[in-house]
Amino acid sequence: MTGLLQLLRFTGAGRVTLFMMNCAVLLLLTSSCLTWAAVVYTPNRAASKLKYLLDPPVYAEVVGRRGDNVTLPCILRVKPSHYKVKWTKLEPERVGLENIIMISNAHAFKPYGHLGPRASLRKAHAMDASLQLSHLKLEDDGTYRCELINGIEDESVVITLSIEGVVFPYQSKNGRYRFTFHEAREACAEQDGMLATYTQLYRAWTEGLDWCNAGWLQDGTVHYPIIHPRPVCGAELVSGIRSYGPKDKHRDRFDAFCFTSQTPGSVFYISGSFSFDQAGHACEGQRAELALVGQLYSAWHFHSYDQCDGGWLKDGSVRFPISNPRERCGGIPEAGVRSFGFPNKMVHLYGAYCYR
């Protein structure tokens, strides 16, 4: 088993923390608590023989939704007489040279940086150095390092935290390919999301995202995911993620791939033939606001929201979510959120999608 890391993904349950403890025991006996499991080879791993820390034995990935609390496991095998534990976030965004979350010794605990206030050590037992993160945010997605510092000896394990969510393509109301990188990042934030990582886009592609317009990702690269190869969407005849590689963040213009996760509130539809302003008032009448695009995608992804009626959203676009594709609702065989683009705000044609 050296050099072999099992990478397991828990889906469906946001309660990864509780899940972990129960599953860890059950895992060897049954696979019933897993939706799927994959084995990933990490070649560099074989070289490191850890003395103090337990190599993540069963999983090196923890999954949680926005708002959840999760625990990133780090367990000592041997307890040195003097040591410190340092938790650091490695990816995707580095703040300064090191993005330290906390340093602790047997007695004290010091939080650092923007993650510090939401971090704590689980300390379930004497050998437990696992990190708890509360109220997960989209930007918490990434890899984390648990480092045991023991004089000059120093060893670490790396755990991936994946935020469970949905990727959505987003285009400017002014048309295709209008966003610089920074505008794309802002556009996603305005729709309750953030620019997707390559990993998130890749996962969305495996789940069926097929989009023939290139969009910015968080690392400044530009890609688009294709399930059904067709001549207008690139020359290649296989499905896959098409890459334009890194682009000029200030000069080049594309669409955006945004990522969002679960929301604290919910989306509902008010039927009517509203102009954009009337739709906004209809939502206010229900102590709500017009929904953001990310909120509609979240409802579609997490609650299988299905409504065969175009409705206004806060950005001035008209969309509707389809979970059970049928002929009368757009006729596209795949589930998805359909868009009518950005119609004239004065037309009295659509209902309203509200968020509360």
Ligand X SMILES: *[C@@H]1O[C@H](CO)[C@@H](O)[C@H](O)[C@H]1NC(C)=O
Decide: is 18 part of the binding site for ligand X (CB under 6 A).
Answer: no
CB of 180 to ligand X, least distance (A): 37
Is residue 109 involved in binding ligand X (CB under 6 A)? Answer: no
Q: Give the total of residues touching ligand X (CB under 6 A).
A: 3
Helix (H, G, I), strand (E, B) or coil at 240: strand
Q: Please, which residue, 69 or 221, has the CB nearer to ligand X? A: 69
Report in angstroms how near the CB of residue 15 gets to ligand X at its nearest.
Answer: 7
Task: Tell me if 117 contacts ligand X by CB under 6 A.
Answer: no
Q: Of the candidates 6, 48, 69, 156, which one interacts with ligand X according to CB under 6 A? A: 69
Q: Compare residues 68 and 147 and give the one whose CB is closer to ligand X.
A: 68
State yes or no: residue 22 binds ligand X (CB under 6 A).
no
Tokens 């065969």 belong to residue: 308
Q: Does 105 bind ligand X (CB under 6 A)?
A: no
Distances (CA, A) of 94 to 88, 106, 186, 247, 263: 10, 28, 19, 20, 26
Token pair recorded at residue 115: 């993650």
**Stretch 295-334: interaction string toward ligand X, x if CB under 6 A:** ----------------------------------------
Please return the burial class of 218, using the count of CB atoms within 10 Å of its CB with bins 0-12, 13-18 and 19+.
Answer: buried
Of residues 157, 84, 77, 64, the one with CA closest to residue 125? 77
- Please name which of 241, 186, 195 lies closest in space to residue 214, comparing C-alpha atoms: 241
Spatial contact of 338 and 322, defined as CB atoms under 8 Å apart: yes
Tell me the H-state helices in the chain.
16-26, 181-190, 198-206, 276-284, 293-303
Give yes or no for residue 271 binding ligand X (CB under 6 A). no
Residue 158's alpha-carbon distances to 45, 72, 215, 235, in angstroms, are 10, 9, 30, 39
Q: How many CA atoms are closer than 13 Å to the CA of 196, on its beta-carbon side?
A: 30
Minimum gap (Å) between residue 140 Cβ and ligand X: 13
Tell me: does residue 286 bind ligand X (CB under 6 A).
Answer: no
Which residue in 22, 42, 105, 134 binds ligand X (CB under 6 A)? 134
If DSSP codes are grouped into helix, strand and coil, which group holds residue 122? Answer: coil
Q: Which C-beta is closer to ligand X: that of 133 or that of 157?
A: 133
What is the pattern of x (binds ligand X, CB under 6 A) and - over residues 26-65?
----------------------------------------
Q: Which residues of this protein are in contact with ligand X, per CB under 6 A?
A: 68-69, 134
